[in-house]
Amino acid sequence: MATAKKPATTSTGARKASAKSARSRSREFALQALYQYLVGRNEAAAIDTFTRDLAGFHKADSVHYDALLHGCVKEAGELDALIVPLLDRKIEEISPIEHAIMWIGAWEFQHAPDVPWRVVLNECIELAKEFGGTDGHKYVNAVLNGLAPKLRAMEVEADKKAGKAR
C-alpha cells in the first residue's frame, strides 16, 4: 500500500515554498502588505504597488491578494472588533505579524465562503509558523478557533457532528 508523501517543511514546520499554492502565496504577500500598513501606516495603494514588484508575486493569486489587502484595510475596525474579545491582552500588545494574520483569518471567515474554515485556520497557522514569533501560531490558532464558531457556525457545527472538530 502506498503512503501519502508528506509535504516538505522548513525547520519551523512551515511548508517549503515549492509546496505552496498560488492562494497560499497570496496570503503571504497580503501579510507582508498588511504588516507595512500596521507598522508604517502607509497607504494601501502605495503598499500594493510595492508588493506587486516583489520577487515571486507572479506566482500568487493576485485576485485573492487584492481582496485580502484592500478588504482588511477597509474593514480594519470591524476585524479588530471581532478579534479583541478573544485576546488576553490589548490589541496594541499583539505582534503586528500575528495581528495581520488574525485579520486575514477573520476576513476570510467572513468573505471567502469557498475556503473551508479549517483551511483558513490552517493557512493562518502556517503563516504564523513561518513569519511570526516562536509560539505565535498557538496564539493565532486559539483566537481564530474561537472566532470560527461565530463566523462559520454552520460549517463548524457540521464538522463537530462529523467528529472533525479541533
Taken in order 154, 160, 164, 166, the sign of the CA dihedral is positive
For residues 111 and 64, what is the distance between their CA atoms, to the nearest angstrom?
11
Between residues 125 and 5, which one has the greater pLDDT?
Answer: 125
Domains in the chain: ranges and CATH:
21-161 (1.10.940.10)
For residues 90 and 27, what is the distance between their CA atoms, to the nearest angstrom?
25
For residues 93 and 15, what is the distance between their CA atoms, to the nearest angstrom?
28
Tens digit of each residue's pLDDT (9 = 90 or more) over 96-147: 999 999 999 999 999 999 999 999 999 999 999 999 988 899 999 999 999 9
For residues 30 and 16, what is the distance between their CA atoms, to the nearest angstrom?
18
pLDDT at 16: 54
Whether 119 contacts 144, CB under 8 Å: no
The number of C-alpha atoms within 13 Å of 28 and in the hemisphere containing its C-beta is 22
C-alpha cell at 42: 502607509
pLDDT at 84: 96
Can you say how many angstroms the Cα of residue 20 is from the centroid of all Cα atoms in its chain?
A: 14
Give the whole-number percent of the chain exceeding pLDDT 70: 87
The pair phi, psi for residue 15, each rounded to 5°, is -65, 145
